[in-house]
Structure 1
Amino acid sequence: MEWVAHLAATFLTEERDHAGAAILGNKLCVLGGRERGQRNMKGTGFLLDFGHLGRGWRVSQGRMSTTRGVVTGTIGKHVFVFGGEGSVADGLDGIYNETEVFNTRTEKWKKLEPMDVPRQGGSAVAVGNRIYVPGGGLGEDGSPVNIFDVYRPSCQSRHANLRLLPCVALRGLSYLKPNSRRGS
């Protein structure tokens, strides 16, 4: 195994850490993050086409509102972005409860229903039409949490609206509640 150099793609358009990332087909999306410091947050995204590495990175047209420490999951042409850190809202301990979706074809963002439990720094995986979000942090200092959420785009709209599927915990394992509605 060896590292392969592609000069045009070697450097992002800007320095970035604590960003979200997603693969969609032949493209890599790097979304949000920060540049040199806790409060220097960036809502921009970068796109790299693996089929044309020689073209390098380009800045996406849209801009997200939450920025660093986000959790991402991909379904179809959409990248769903959950939470993040850096919020100045009262009662959120620096953590966002935002949920947004990035349409990779139009490069536009849309705000969706916020998360019940704001968090940052976790991970997510999409399987089928659901995104599984285990854990994360409740504060900018980390404050890990053992909450497990499952999201799926709503089938009732042409637009991607996110719905939380309530879970129950049995012997340390989480299961979806059958026939349940949000808030029940």
Structure 2
Amino acid sequence: MPTKAQRGEIVLKRIFTVFIICIVFLSTGTQIFAEQNEWTSVTDLTKTIDRVNLLAIDGKIYSIGGHDQNKFYDTIDVYDPEAKTWTQKGKLPAVRGTVNAAVYDGKIYIVGGEPINNKLDIYDPLKNEWTQGKSFPNDVAGYAAQFVNGKLLVIGGFTKYTDSSDKVYEYDPSTNIWTEKAHLSTPRRYTTSVLVNGKVYVIGGINELKGMLSSIEEYDPQNNTWTTKSPMSTPRMGLASAVLNNEIYAIGGNTATDKISGPGTAEVEKYNPKTDTWSKVTSMPTARGFLSAVSLNNSIYVAGGSNKSVYFSVFEKYTPGDDGTSPSQPGEPGTSQPDNPVGDRAIMVVTLTTGLEKEFDLSMKEVNDFISWYEGKQAGSGSASYAINKHDNNKGPFSSRKDYMLFDRILTFEVSEYTK
């Protein structure tokens, strides 16, 4: 295992070399990688709908509630990517739209929504049963929501159609208690969010003073702080978001500043949290807002939406190609570039919610397998624990020793690659 000084030297060498490579690419203007990103149409939803919510659980996609003209739905439909079919799974306790449901321990948590209410409903897909948690502190819809370290964050939203909230609340399923957390820097409704490496990113939306928002805020749950990051190029609300390879995709949305009902956009932008930079991505085939998106099997699925009061049942799939900007596997940006000096091993440091740090010297395959498990569990599928082989740390008369990581105990993890 390399010493800390050696690891520092490795990181510095890598940064310097990548800097040199970037200068050469930018100065020559040479395009080394062909654009292969692709959108395809898959089986349409069972109805034309917007304000629907997509979730991935155990390799399948759940479509929850939604809205068409003046009608809200109480349906739950499930898409099987292998069979390419939609089937009705069950029904919500009441009609509901404009929610941002979240998954934890295989269960779906839904707060508020339209028609505006403050209910917390919890759905168990295996039992096809609903239970209720403690109601949200006030009525809410149009918010963002994420589970972080086993607790549900509900961010922003509105209680009536003329206001936007900067409030953030955290729900603990083990105690059934809501706690107010640090407020957003900018109040926002009709916003979206994702979770990347233990931090929450809230993107776009609208508020009454600033209109459409292009801003993005990053939440650090360990410090309970919000930080404003580089904005999107286009202000929009009612957009969707998803994560591939630790990069954030901001998809579609409405761009008009004077009306909620449109027009929609097909624009897609990609954000790299490590470099705090945005780049353009191939646009969707269908321009729309109030849509929903979810990542599954290295693709992004986008469903429904509306454009100037026209509602869609379209269900489109984005598969990233190698344009030289996205990693081919989860990990550090640029790992798809053959000239980038990437090591074959890495020091992975896992920080637990207790503050304890665990360090492992692993092959890159082992690191990527761990990240794939983590992202799968984050999306609602996979086992609750993951075994990491301790290898050279295997002391004593044992044939093997493994450290079992519990998903809801992981705060962050850091990967520093090196060549042995």
Aligned with residue 222 of structure 2, among 31, 51, 56:
51
1:79 — aligned with what? 248
The within-5 A match list for 1:84-163 is 84-87=253-256, 94-139=263-308, 141=309, 143-154=310-321, 156-160=322-326
| 2:199 maps to 1:27 | yes
Please give the per-residue CA displacement for 1:80-134, whole angstroms capped at 9, x wherever unaligned. Answer: 111110259xxxx611110110111111111112111101111111013101111
* Aligned-partner Cα distance in 2 for 1:128–1:66: 29
What is the CA distance between 1:2 and its match in structure 2? Answer: 0.4
* Aligned-partner Cα distance in 2 for 1:14–1:49: 16
SS of alignment partner, residue 222 of structure 2: helix
Aligned with residue 188 of structure 2, among 12, 16, 33:
16
SS of alignment partner, residue 51 of structure 1: coil
2:238 — aligned with what? 69
**Structure 1 residues 138 and 65: alpha-carbon distance in aligned structure 2, compared to 1, 3 A threshold:** same
What is the CA distance between 1:71 and its match in structure 2? Answer: 1.0
What is the CA distance between 1:40 and its match in structure 2? Answer: 0.9
TM-score norm. by structure 1 comes to: 0.73
**Structure 1 residues 64 and 20: alpha-carbon distance in aligned structure 2, compared to 1, 3 A threshold:** farther
Runs of 4+ in structure 1 off by over 3 angstroms are: none
Give the residue type in structure 2 aligned to 1:80.
Y
Alignment gaps of 5+ in structure 2: 1-175, 328-420
* Aligned-partner Cα distance in 1 for 2:232–2:315: 28
SS of alignment partner, residue 116 of structure 1: coil
Q: Is the 8 A contact 1:66 1:84 kept in 2?
A: no
What is the CA distance between 1:159 and its match in structure 2? Answer: 1.4
Q: Is the 8 A contact 1:27 1:48 kept in 2?
A: yes
1:4 — aligned with what? 179
* Aligned-partner Cα distance in 2 for 1:25–1:84: 25
What is the CA distance between 1:136 and its match in structure 2? Answer: 1.2
Q: Is the 8 A contact 1:120 1:136 kept in 2?
A: yes
* Aligned-partner Cα distance in 2 for 1:120–1:49: 28
1:41 — aligned with what? 212
Q: Is the 8 A contact 2:217 2:229 kept in 1?
A: yes
What is the CA distance between 1:66 and its match in structure 2? Answer: 4.0
Tell me how large the CA RMSD over aligned residues is.
2.1
Structure of larger gyration radius: 2
* Aligned-partner Cα distance in 2 for 1:86–1:122: 13
TM-score norm. by structure 2 comes to: 0.33
Identity %: 23
